[in-house]
Amino acid sequence: MSGGEMNAPSARAQYFDGRNSRSTAVDVTLAEQGALAIRGDGFAFDVPRAALRVGARVGRSTWSVELERGASLAFEAGPDAERLLAALDSSPTTRWIQRLERSGRWAALCVLSLVVVTWLFVKYGVPALAARAAVLVPPDVERAIGAQGLQWIDGWLDPSQLSDDRRSAVEAAFERARTAVPDLTGLRLERRAGGPLRANAFALPGGIVVMTDELAHLVAHDDELVAVFLHEFGHLERHHGMRRLLEGSIVALLSLLLTSDVSTVASVGTGLPAVLLQAGYSRAEEREADAFALDALERIGVPRRALGDVLVRIEAETGSSGIPEILSTHPETSSRVDATRR
């Protein structure tokens, strides 16, 4: 024993010289100025503080201290080793992180904060990210997604059975709507029998607009069809569908990254578009699409009220407010109609 302080922190350790794999049992004691006195069977030496590198002590695993020239000490976690190593490495950060990692109360608090942070991120961060990313998606990719969505929808809906008259009227309205938005490319009209969707119209990423026969019959004037198409063009122009798709993908990807099971990414990815197409637009997005449609109506000299009229008509017919994109959260029709009269 080195004489003097009987109280100096001391612990058992394994000593490795860094040249070969022999393990030597040693007693390690804190000496003056943070030096370590290392005493073993047949050898004794001191290492100054400057030559020590205390590794992070994580949990109750083995804790190590690196010495010079590859030599090292390994301590079994325990009160002795804790006292000794804390004396060598007692920065506030180290102590703070260790308290965080060891206390059950902090863990509970961490879980709580994690839930809050995740919620905030999903609520605000993901939509913002998706909005940025949506404009970057190449048109080819958008079209492919839209085509896949249409294929899925065709599993549900029967082909259109419009009379030739109505069909050419609908197509003419689509062409008129298109002249109002020369910048939008890839626009394509698809007509289907509404079935469970009844009077309805919706846009798919890439420019496909699907309109049901029921809606074509419901309108009193073809201007109203133009208004519906322009509303859908509004969704396309703002990439609302793509955004919703990306939001879903980001959340799915994050949860997969968290669960770190990459092997399931492929299996989940294939069926994803179908689910995501079901998600509706937000009220704000409906208002954006309405505003876009009203501007465009004005440009081609169609009365603004065409949009309000068709909204009222659809509500009366289907009982749901607004142009009923599948399962959307619609703003109140009355407030949207008011906007068209302003």
The entry of Zn ion, other proteins, none that residue 144 binds, CB within 5 to 8 Å by partner kind: none
List the single partner that 317 binds among Zn ion, other proteins, none, CB under 5 to 8 Å by kind: none
**Residue 117 interaction partner, one of other proteins, Zn ion, none, beta carbon < 5-8 Å per kind:** other proteins
Segment 185-204, which members bind other proteins (CB under 8 A)? Answer: 196-198
Identify which of residues 36 and 310 has a Cβ nearer to Zn ion in the complex.
310
- DSSP readout, 65-114? EE-GGG-EEEEESSHHHHHHHHHH---HHHHHHHHHHH-HHHHHHHHHHH
- Residue 292 touches which of other proteins, Zn ion, none (CB < 5 to 8 A by kind)? none
Interaction between residue 24 and other proteins (CB under 8 A)? yes
Rule CB under 8 A: say whether 43 interacts with other proteins.
no
127-135, 220-228, 283-291, 309-317 -> range binding Zn ion (CB under 5 A): 283-291
CA distance 106 to 100: 6
Closer to Zn ion by Cβ: residue 31 or 209: 209
Q: Does residue 74 touch other proteins according to CB under 8 A?
A: yes
Q: CB-based contacts of 223: which residues, under 8 Å, 6+ apart? A: 173, 302, 303, 306
Shortest Cβ 340–other proteins spacing (Å): 25
Is residue 117 at the binding interface for other proteins, with CB under 8 A as the rule? yes
Question: DSSP string spanning 256-286?
Answer: HHHHT-THHHHHHHHHHHHHHHH----HHHH
Q: Which is nearer to Zn ion, 10 or 321 (CB)?
A: 321
Q: Considering the complex, what minimum distance in angstroms separates the CB of residue 171 from other proteins?
A: 26
Of 157, 184, 174, nearest to 216 by C-alpha is: 174
With beta carbons less than 8 A apart as the criterion, state whether 213 and 193 touch.
yes
| Contact of 49 with 35, CB cutoff 8 Å | yes
Pair 240, 285: CB distance under 8 Å: yes
Contact flag: residue 140 with other proteins (CB under 8 A): yes
Q: Are 277 and 208 in contact (CB under 8 A)?
A: no
Classify strands 24-30 and 36-40 as parallel, antiparallel or unpaired. Answer: antiparallel
Q: Would you give the binding string for other proteins spanning residues 91-110, x where CB under 8 A is met?
A: ------x--xxxxx-xx--x
251 touching other proteins, by CB under 8 A: no
Question: Binding segment for Zn ion among 145-153, 164-172, 207-215, 318-326 (CB under 5 A)?
Answer: 318-326
